[in-house]
């Protein structure tokens, strides 16, 4: 190797090492398992941090190492208890800002308060925008979110927002199962774009839509299926599973219409109230979710499969840090 080539290689190694040393990763209390997996993927340790609550419920956060001039990534989904985890994220951001971090990225695998993304009646709050404002005002310079409830929420942030998808992880798993006669089903009209993109990547599988009329929050009434599911393996695709009422009624209708198997796929396992009973009642061959939200032992059941998104998040963080393309990961 020539002298000039050797010097160039040494400079490249020094730049990469310097870049890695500037990257700092911290975890909130909402999902430390995913944060540790992301840290392993990146080959770094989670940063030390003191986190505690006072007797009246107030939270205290202190970063335990210098992050001056560093690019800091804070991993914290705003899952149950939503208010506590959101407030903890805001306090972490503020602590990093006051510690002179160069850039603070809020890594939010599950973005809570996203369902109220517009006014559907008078005198309602648009909480998706409110939460975005809080994160921005706390001092975050960038947000990395996964499978937002609606794509327009990206525009609610006045800072860059990288929106990534959990579908590649689920698609890889489904492809490994070698299912035949697949039809991808959207549980409602609002999810058609998501289901269409999912079907396209699943070898161009046909698409069906469930016509659903919602009468109240967390209460769904399913009407009929638009598309052919007779004798097929139906894959219901959604961004989250909350009370599972929509999926339960959808699965019943698909069985009634002649589907031979029904699978449910979603990125976020919120699993509120009667969700586990509805999902484990024999309507589904398998319920496939990711670990953007931790699933406690009492909410696990035989048909449940939890896939990790840690490598996907880790790769995205590295690309953001290296200022390379994120969107190319999903082409």
What are the residue numbers of the active site?
212
Cβ contact 162:319 at 8 Å: no
Strand pairing report for 142-146 and 161-164? parallel
Cβ contact 227:209 at 8 Å: yes
The helix (H) or strand (E) run that includes residue 305 is strand 304-307
Q: Could you tell me which residues come within 8 angstroms of residue 89 by beta carbon, excluding any fewer than 6 positions away? A: 28, 74, 76, 78, 106, 108, 135, 138
Label residue 150 exposed, middle or buried (CB < 10 Å: 0-12, 13-18, 19+).
middle
Cβ contact 266:240 at 8 Å: yes
Tell me the CB-side half-sphere exposure of residue 87, using CA atoms within 13 A.
12
Q: Nearest Cα to 166, choosing from 192, 144, 147?
A: 147
Q: Could you tell me which residues come within 8 angstroms of residue 301 by beta carbon, excluding any fewer than 6 positions away? A: 276, 279, 280, 287
């Amino acid at each position: 190797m020539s002298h000039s080539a050797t010097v160039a290689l040494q400079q490249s190694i020094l730049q990469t090492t310097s870049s890695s040393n500037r990257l700092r990763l911290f975890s909130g209390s909402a999902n430390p398992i995913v944060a540790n997996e992301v840290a392993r993927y990146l080959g770094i340790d989670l940063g030390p941090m003191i986190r505690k609550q006072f007797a009246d419920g107030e939270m205290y956060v202190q970063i335990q190492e210098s992050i001056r001039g560093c690019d800091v990534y804070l991993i914290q989904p705003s899952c149950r208890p939503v208010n506590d985890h959101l407030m903890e994220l805001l306090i972490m951001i503020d602590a990093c800002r006051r510690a002179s971090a160069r850039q603070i990225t809020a890594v939010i695998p599950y973005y809570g308060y996203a369902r109220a993304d517009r006014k559907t009646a008078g005198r309602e709050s648009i909480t998706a925008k409110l939460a975005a404002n809080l994160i921005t005002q706390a001092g975050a310079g960038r947000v990395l979110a996964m499978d937002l409830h609606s794509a327009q929420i990206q525009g609610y942030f006045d800072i860059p927002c990288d929106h990534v998808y959990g579908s590649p992880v689920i698609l890889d798993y489904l492809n490994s199962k070698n299912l035949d006669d697949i039809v991808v089903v959207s549980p409602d009209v609002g999810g058609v774009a998501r289901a269409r993109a999912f079907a396209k990547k699943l070898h161009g599988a046909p698409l069906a839509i469930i016509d659903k009329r919602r009468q109240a929050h967390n209460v769904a009434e399913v009407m009929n299926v638009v598309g052919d599911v007779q004798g097929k393996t139906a894959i219901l695709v959604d961004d989250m599973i909350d009370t599972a009422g929509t999926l339960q009624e959808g699965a019943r209708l698909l069985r009634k219409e002649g589907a031979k198997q029904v699978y449910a796929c979603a990125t976020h396992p919120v699993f509120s109230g009667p969700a586990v009973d509805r999902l484990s009642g024999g309507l589904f061959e398998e319920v496939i979710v990711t670990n953007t939200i931790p699933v406690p032992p009492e909410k696990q059941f035989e048909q449940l499969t939890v896939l990790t998104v840690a490598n996907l998040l880790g790769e995205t963080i590295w690309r953001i840090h290296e200022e390379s393309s994120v969107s190319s990961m999903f082409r």
